[in-house]
Chains A and B, each alone.
Chain A
Amino acid sequence: MAYEEPITDYDHIVENCTCAFCGSNCDDLDFLVKGNHVVGVRHACRLGASKIMEDEDQRLKVPMMRDENGELQEVDWDTALDAAAELIANSVRPLFYGWSETSIECMKKGLKLTEYVGAVIDNQATICHGPTVQAVQNVGYPLMTLGEVKNRADMVVYTGSNPMNAHPRHLARYSVFPRGWFRQRGRFDRTLVTWDPKFSDTAKMSDIWVPFEENGDYGFCNAIRAVLKGKELKEDVISGIPKQDIIDLTESMKNVEFGALFFGLGLTHTLSKQRNIDIAIQLVQDLNAYTKWVLLPMRGHFNVNGFNIYMAYEMGFPYGVDFCRGYPRYMIGETTTVDLLNRKEPDVFLVIAADPGAHFPGGANMHLANIPVIQIDIHWGPSTELADIVLPGTFIGVETAGTSYRMDSVPIHMKSAIDPPETCREDEWIVNELYERVKKIKEEAK
């Protein structure tokens, strides 16, 4: 990549901003602001910086609706909100999906609307760490905060995840490189291990790379558990890894002072889904018979964990909560978004701060082509190509303040640094406005 000159042309710096990208929620960012635009970002990684210095061309700035030819047309806020409220009020099985890239304050309003109309509310966990949440319900959660890892961990294992691509500052800020209280020499005091079939960018910089075969995670973790329990391994090669290597690795995992296992979607997206995580969690539990080990899922969006925590706190269930009977219900495979879409159940789909067009399998998205879709977002994305009503929101953490939860469940206040575009409205305001208007329609119909 070409060398870029440092940015010197700015009016002022806003310090200690929080990155609104991945679950690492780095809260040490400095924004260089010029004329109500962020022209530079300090401390952020490539991902964070690119999101904060957004593509202005594709920023959604005005409310839009499809006309009879299917072309998007600019309309005023009242028209768009009324049309959206009308759709929601008259629907039988509305589905409100997204929420992971907006604030807890907005989710609060969303839950009120969901409860009022008897909809299903779900977030991105449904296509990423849902199985993790199920496994946690099955076998428990040996959790820590990232600060503990920074100060104590002398072995860090990543499996089914590639933080150098998905959470680039995770190693630098929390797990491997920083100097901690008991790890004064930083990287030199820690062993970095990657279990991944691919020689991923994280594997390339690891001390130990364990390339088990595709779909071999379940067998591999179980083999380690067997060795831990003093059992003899019957086969010479397990999941593509020689027996002696497994024994050696187990031995070194037993002999650390504090180990941390981080896992990603490589475990949840393969066929054994939540069973993979069950085993990973149990492996950590078994290791605790010898020394201290903890584990943490690498959550993707900056507030995907926040939604799960918020919903579990308010309603008792983490995601995929169905209010159609007037009380909250949660049933995996039944009230979760992709299953609902596969069964062609929803008749109105509201997507807020998410992009199903880019992230749902085509088979599920096909149903979105048959039903009205309302989109609340900040950028024109693949979902806009399927949306009938588009409501432009504001950028949490840059233009609007809000609360989010980091991957280790630490709440973080994200402050605002600049003013939102004049024609956009805060997500919280939009959802509340929808609630008020739906309520009015329903009351009048009584």
Chain B
Amino acid sequence: MTYVDKPTVSNVVKFDDPNVKKVQKIKVMLNTGTDIYQGACKKRGSTLKDEYRKVAGIAYMDPKDMARLGVANWESVLVKSDWGEVVVYAAHSRDAPHEEMIFIPKGPWANVIVSPETYCCNDPTYKGIEATVEKSDKEVLLMADLMRSVYRKYTKNEKNVDELPSLGEMPVYRKK
């Protein structure tokens, strides 16, 4: 049972705004943290489901930034930082305006691009990370597929992990 299949996002991106200059890529500051949709989905346990990628594999962006990149709600963007890159959905942030700042709720997607650096203070730097955002035509991966392609724990010898069939939305294990 689920409460939402995806977060409600308003649609206020104006692609034809004459003041908006189209660009390929923008530089942003990345923040991560909790969000009510992510919290509810994660703790209910629905992490394998499509719902989890819609609530945690998502970058909440300023609508002006989205217009500059030419991405609409629920289209994919590639976010790159010094620590890695990941494909997530773009969506209009309900806290806008916050130009050149994006928010990705905590979860396996955000983890790929946040900094593990603790500066000897035990807490990694989850907020205020420099990143770039560009449009992408790739699909956002489901949680199990993302974990497989990022950490490759059980597919070390596989050459092309991304071409393996998807692990799907249900637990996969052999019953006795």
Residues 1 to 27 of chain A near chain B (Cβ within 8 Å): 1, 21
Q: Kindly state whether residue A369 has any CB partner on chain B within 8 Å.
A: yes
Taking the closest CB of chain A, its distance from the CB of B103, in whole angstroms, is 8
Taking the closest CB of chain A, its distance from the CB of B148, in whole angstroms, is 7
Known: A269-B123, A385-B144. A166 touches B174 (CB 8 A): no
Q: B151 and A338: CB pair below 8 A?
A: no
Taking the closest CB of chain B, its distance from the CB of A194, in whole angstroms, is 12
Partner pick for B44 among A51, A71, A358, CB 8 A cutoff: A51
Residues of B close to A363: CB separation below 8 A: 83, 115-116
Q: Kindly state whether residue B98 has any CB partner on chain A within 8 Å.
A: yes
Please report the C-alpha to C-alpha distance between residue A51 and residue B33 in the assembled complex, in whole angstroms.
Answer: 19
Q: Chain B 19-30 against A: per-residue CB contact (8 Å), 1 yes, 0 no? A: 000000000010
Stretch at the interface among B63-71, B105-113, B132-140: B105-113
Q: Kindly state whether residue A136 has any CB partner on chain B within 8 Å.
A: no
Q: A164 and B36: CB pair below 8 A?
A: yes
Taking the closest CB of chain A, its distance from the CB of B47, in whole angstroms, is 5
Stretch at the interface among A108-116, A142-150, A195-203, A396-404: A195-203
Chain A contact residues (Cβ within 8 angstroms of B): what range?
Answer: 35 or more
Residues of A close to B94: CB separation below 8 A: 201
Q: Kindly state whether residue B175 has any CB partner on chain A within 8 Å.
A: yes
Residues of B close to A166: CB separation below 8 A: 34, 36, 39
Q: Kindly state whether residue B160 has any CB partner on chain A within 8 Å.
A: no
Residues 115 to 134 of chain B near chain A (Cβ within 8 Å): 115-128
Q: Kindly state whether residue B176 has any CB partner on chain A within 8 Å.
A: yes
Residues of B close to A355: CB separation below 8 A: 42
Q: Chain A 45-63 against B: per-residue CB contact (8 Å), 1 yes, 0 no? A: 0110011011101110010
Residues of B close to A333: CB separation below 8 A: 118-122
Q: Kindly state whether residue B163 has any CB partner on chain A within 8 Å.
A: no
Q: B115 and A368: CB pair below 8 A?
A: no
Q: B175 and A74: CB pair below 8 A?
A: yes
Closest to B101 in A: A214
Partner pick for B95 among A1, A199, A358, CB 8 A cutoff: A199
> Chain B contact residues: over half helix, strand or loop, or mixed?
loop
Q: Name which of B2, B3, B96, B173 has the most chain A CB atoms within 10 A of its CB.
A: B173
Q: Kindly state whether residue B35 has any CB partner on chain A within 8 Å.
A: yes
Please report the C-alpha to C-alpha distance between residue A268 and residue B126 in the assembled complex, in whole angstroms.
Answer: 9
Taking the closest CB of chain A, its distance from the CB of B48, in whole angstroms, is 6
Q: Chain B 36-68 against A: per-residue CB contact (8 Å), 1 yes, 0 no? A: 100111111111110000000000000000000
Residues of B close to A127: CB separation below 8 A: 122-124, 126
Q: Chain A 364-377 against B: per-residue CB contact (8 Å), 1 yes, 0 no? A: 11101100000000
Q: Chain A 302-326 against B: per-residue CB contact (8 Å), 1 yes, 0 no? A: 0000000000000000001000000
Q: A165 and B39: CB pair below 8 A?
A: yes
Partner pick for A369 among B41, B44, B101, B151, CB 8 A cutoff: B151
Q: Kindly state whether residue B143 has any CB partner on chain A within 8 Å.
A: yes
Q: Chain A 28-67 against B: per-residue CB contact (8 Å), 1 yes, 0 no? A: 0000000000000000001100110111011100101011
Residues of A close to B1: CB separation below 8 A: 53, 55
Q: B151 and A130: CB pair below 8 A?
A: no
Q: Kindly state whether residue A378 has any CB partner on chain B within 8 Å.
A: yes
Q: B176 and A362: CB pair below 8 A?
A: no
Please report the C-alpha to C-alpha distance between residue A366 and residue B49 in the assembled complex, in whole angstroms.
Answer: 23
Residues of B close to A239: CB separation below 8 A: none
Q: A338 and B118: CB pair below 8 A?
A: yes
Q: Kindly state whether residue A242 has any CB partner on chain B within 8 Å.
A: no
Taking the closest CB of chain A, its distance from the CB of B109, in whole angstroms, is 10
Residues of A close to B35: CB separation below 8 A: 165
Known: A50-B44, A215-B128, A358-B108. A57 touches B170 (CB 8 A): yes
Please report the C-alpha to C-alpha distance between residue A131 and residue B119 in the assembled complex, in whole angstroms.
Answer: 12
Partner pick for B33 among A57, A75, A265, A364, CB 8 A cutoff: A265
Closest to B98 in A: A198
Q: Kindly state whether residue B4 has any CB partner on chain A within 8 Å.
A: yes
Q: A1 and B175: CB pair below 8 A?
A: no
Please report the C-alpha to C-alpha distance between residue A65 and residue B69 in the assembled complex, in whole angstroms.
Answer: 46
Known: A55-B44, A64-B173, A369-B151. A362 touches B84 (CB 8 A): yes
Question: What 6 pairs across the A-B complex have the smallest Cβ distances?
Answer: A70-B154, A363-B116, A333-B120, A379-B45, A336-B122, A72-B173
Q: List 5 A-B contacts (CB under 8 A).
A: A21-B43, A74-B173, A333-B122, A358-B107, A362-B83
Given contacts A55-B1, A358-B111, 17 further A-B contacts (CB under 8 A): A54-B44, A57-B171, A58-B45, A70-B154, A74-B175, A126-B123, A198-B98, A265-B127, A269-B125, A332-B121, A338-B118, A342-B116, A359-B111, A362-B151, A366-B151, A385-B148, A385-B153
